[in-house]
Chains A and B, each alone.
Chain A
Amino acid sequence: MSDFAAKKHSGLDGAASRSGRSAGSRLGTGLLYVILGVLAFLQVYPLFWLFLFSLKTNQEVFGASPFALPQDPQWGNYAKAWTQGHINLYFLNSVWYTAAAVFLTIILASFVTFAITRMYWKLNRLVLGLFMIGLMIPLHSTLIPLFSFFKNVGLIDNPLSIILSYTAFNLPLTIMILLGFYQTLPREIEEAAVMDGCSVHRIFFRITLPLTTPVIATTAIINMIYNWNEFVFVNTFINSDRLKTLTVGVNSFVGQYLTDWGAIGATLIISIVPILIAFLVLSNRIVEGMAAGSVKG
């Protein structure tokens, strides 16, 4: 009980504790935690489920109860994913395509957003509009034209076609998210910097970029997840096995007539580990960045 009181004491902006330890507020806090807990369960259960799924046979996957534990855990699914799914081969490709595209997207998007929101020029709204339109084209409309474009510039079966596509297609989204944040940045800091004789580039790299670390971490997470799970571009533009990515490994278990669901589950579990770690690391940057920013501000 005292433990609960302590928890409540530090809860809810501290204001709750000041406004009295009424039963109502205590109930409210408890209820809030129940709701948050239920939501958390709904969001985390899939990961657990996927893990069970990865240990099942095809027969069990379509068996009576999706809640059931695997009768005889099929660790062999992992071996299969590793050897027949060629995960070892695809893994590094996934990592470096994702990393390169995320880096490129964020730096280019930051450039553009900075130029559009902080600098003075006539066509900024038009240029912004051009990027926004990029958000609206359905992916499958672009496949055939993109293929012939890459063919003409000799980029078929070249990792660059993947990295550049990821970057181009994530730029509009990234710019839009950045935009909302740049608009909340106070201009006073830049004005002071200009007074001190800073150049544009110095302002961008030394002031604006560090100030926007939280949103950069946010967009990095979003970009990373999108690129990591993408397969339409890889499937279309890459021919050589040695250049393909993990998602291709997943799809190689979908057969003409038979699909090996257990192995798919195992591949998915293996492929989710690195991104989960990267997410947890980046996720902390959202808060840290804020702290660092407020020191400067």
Chain B
Amino acid sequence: MKTVMSNKWAIALYVWPALLLIGCLIYVPLVMTGYYGLMDWNGFAPKRFIGLENYGRLMQDSMFWKSTYHSFLLGIFSTLSLLLYLAVSLVLASRIKGADLFRKIYLIPMLLSSVAIAQLWSKIFDPSNGMINSLLISLGVENPPLWLSDPNIVLFSIFIPIIWQYAGFYIIIYYAALKNVPEEVVEAARIDGASPLQIALRVKLPLISSVFKVTIVLALVGSLKYFDLIYVMTGGGPNHASEVMASYMYGEAFTKYNFGYGSAIGFALLIICLIVTWLIRKLTTSKDDYQY
């Protein structure tokens, strides 16, 4: 077994093409980002080396920390909503009628591009003509919430479409994982008289724990660098109330021409993701797990 499965040629053949690809297309930009982060550079004028000055500025930039805080909030909400997705998947993966149809329907929002989703949710959130507020007004609510304009709630308003958008993504992963659980195991539990709920929680859940752990990392890292809907729907506003790390980085690098500083933010984002992933691994790894 060991000799066959430790064939060096095969390992090299399997790993090198992919490694080469990410080496060129991800690690080169990554190193360049780190390098630009040490520069005072607007993107095209001559670069000026300033050492760690950008990072010093970052440490004292309250806007950066605010956006980091927002990103973390999104991360926490996304991770918590995994439980919801998991519950739906467990129901769908039990032999319930129509599960196949429901599963397909649930993925539909994921097919839509951000342009469409942003348009839809702007129509839902519009302060007086929107779907929610026109309903509230007709119910006699005099001052319905200004979902995307009130700095106190905008961040939470914007989380809703993000969590909604990703439902299909996680449901499909969980569903596939649950379908991978050997039928014999489920059958054995059923013969022992376990209820569907017990089968779901005691039998299936432990068997897909490795998948669940992976999705925690995906949800957290994905949230920390989340950009799309926030950029299109609020642009990080009003007055930075919904700014997240990636939108802040984009604004600095592309709108304000502070490419050096923007790169430093991008690099800091990477470091933060690394630390978070490491912590998650520490918290969830059991001895037979692989490092991720």
Q: Do chains A and B touch in the complex (CB under 8 A)?
A: yes
A-B contact pairs, 17 of them (CB 8 A): A14-B95, A14-B190, A33-B98, A43-B108, A66-B123, A139-B246, A140-B246, A146-B29, A168-B22, A171-B21, A214-B180, A225-B111, A250-B113, A268-B115, A272-B112, A276-B111, A279-B107
Select one of B101, B134, B196 contacting A12, CB under 8 A.
B196
Q: Which residues of A contact B (CB under 8 A)?
A: 7, 10-16, 19, 32-33, 36, 39-40, 42-44, 46-47, 49-50, 53, 62-67, 108-109, 111-112, 114-121, 124-125, 127-142, 144-146, 149, 164-165, 167-169, 171-173, 176-177, 179-181, 183-184, 190-191, 194, 198-201, 203-204, 214-215, 217-218, 221-222, 225, 229, 247, 250-251, 261, 264-265, 268, 271-272, 275-276, 279-280, 283, 286-287, 290, 293-294, 297
A42 and B124 CA atoms in complex are apart in Å by 12
Q: Give the shortest distance, in Å, between B101 (CB) and chain A (any CB).
A: 8
Q: Give the shortest distance, in Å, between B281 (CB) and chain A (any CB).
A: 10
Q: Which residues, 110 to 141 on B, are CB-close (under 8 Å) to A? A: 110-117, 119-120, 123-124, 126, 129-131, 134
Interface class of chain A by DSSP: helix
Q: Give the shortest distance, in Å, between A153 (CB) and chain B (any CB).
A: 8
A200 and B263 CA atoms in complex are apart in Å by 43
Pick the most buried of A149, A168, A198: most chain B CB atoms within 10 A of its CB: A168
A116 and B224 CA atoms in complex are apart in Å by 27
Contact between chains at A180 and B210 (CB < 8 Å) = yes
Contact between chains at A44 and B270 (CB < 8 Å) = no
Contacting residues, chain B, for A286 (C-beta < 8 A): 172, 175-176, 179
Q: A131-B22, A171-B18 are in contact. Are A66 and B129 (CB under 8 A)?
A: yes
Q: Which residues, 66 to 110 on B, are CB-close (under 8 Å) to A? A: 88, 91, 94-98, 100-110
Q: Give the shortest distance, in Å, between A11 (CB) and chain B (any CB).
A: 5
Contacting residues, chain A, for B179 (C-beta < 8 A): 214, 286-287, 290
Q: Give the shortest distance, in Å, between A166 (CB) and chain B (any CB).
A: 10
A173 and B225 CA atoms in complex are apart in Å by 14
Pick the most buried of A125, A184, A215: most chain B CB atoms within 10 A of its CB: A184
Contacting residues, chain B, for A271 (C-beta < 8 A): 113
Contact between chains at A272 and B111 (CB < 8 Å) = yes
**Does B182 have its Cβ within 8 Å of any Cβ on chain A?**
yes
Interface segment among B49-57, B148-156, B235-243, B248-256: the answer is: B248-256
Contacting residues, chain B, for A67 (C-beta < 8 A): 131
Contacting residues, chain B, for A247 (C-beta < 8 A): 113
Pick the most buried of B101, B115, B131, B164: most chain A CB atoms within 10 A of its CB: B115
Contact between chains at B18 and A109 (CB < 8 Å) = yes
Contacting residues, chain A, for B29 (C-beta < 8 A): 137, 141-142, 145-146, 149
**Does B287 have its Cβ within 8 Å of any Cβ on chain A?**
no
Contacting residues, chain B, for A171 (C-beta < 8 A): 18, 21-22
Bin the interface of chain B by size. Answer: 35 or more
Q: Which residues of B contact A (CB under 8 A)?
A: 1-2, 4-8, 10-11, 13-15, 17-19, 21-22, 24-30, 32-33, 36, 43, 88, 91, 94-98, 100-117, 119-120, 123-124, 126, 129-131, 134, 164, 167-169, 172-173, 175-177, 179-180, 182-183, 190, 194-196, 199, 207-208, 210-215, 217-218, 221, 224-225, 227, 245-246, 249-250, 253-254, 259, 262-263, 266-267, 269-270, 273-274, 277, 289-292
Contacting residues, chain B, for A283 (C-beta < 8 A): 103-104, 107, 172
Q: A12-B94, A66-B130, A141-B249 are in contact. Are A149 and B107 (CB under 8 A)?
A: no
A81 and B165 CA atoms in complex are apart in Å by 25
Question: 3 nearest interchain CB pairs?
Answer: A141-B266, A180-B211, A136-B273
Contacting residues, chain A, for B111 (C-beta < 8 A): 225, 272, 275-276, 279
Contact between chains at A149 and B176 (CB < 8 Å) = no
Q: A13-B196, A50-B120, A177-B173 are in contact. Are A168 and B2 (CB under 8 A)?
A: no
Q: Give the shortest distance, in Å, between B47 (CB) and chain A (any CB).
A: 12
Contact between chains at B6 and A119 (CB < 8 Å) = yes
Q: Give the shortest distance, in Å, between A193 (CB) and chain B (any CB).
A: 9
Pick the most buried of B11, B116, B126, B217: most chain A CB atoms within 10 A of its CB: B116
Residue in chain B with minimal CB distance to A177: B173
Select one of A66, A168, A275 contacting B124, CB under 8 A.
A66
Select one of B7, B96, B124, B274 contacting A133, CB under 8 A.
B274
Contacting residues, chain A, for B169 (C-beta < 8 A): 222
Select one of A15, A128, A217, A272 contacting B195, CB under 8 A.
A15
Q: Give the shortest distance, in Å, between B25 (CB) and chain A (any CB).
A: 4
Pick the most buried of B21, B102, B194: most chain A CB atoms within 10 A of its CB: B21
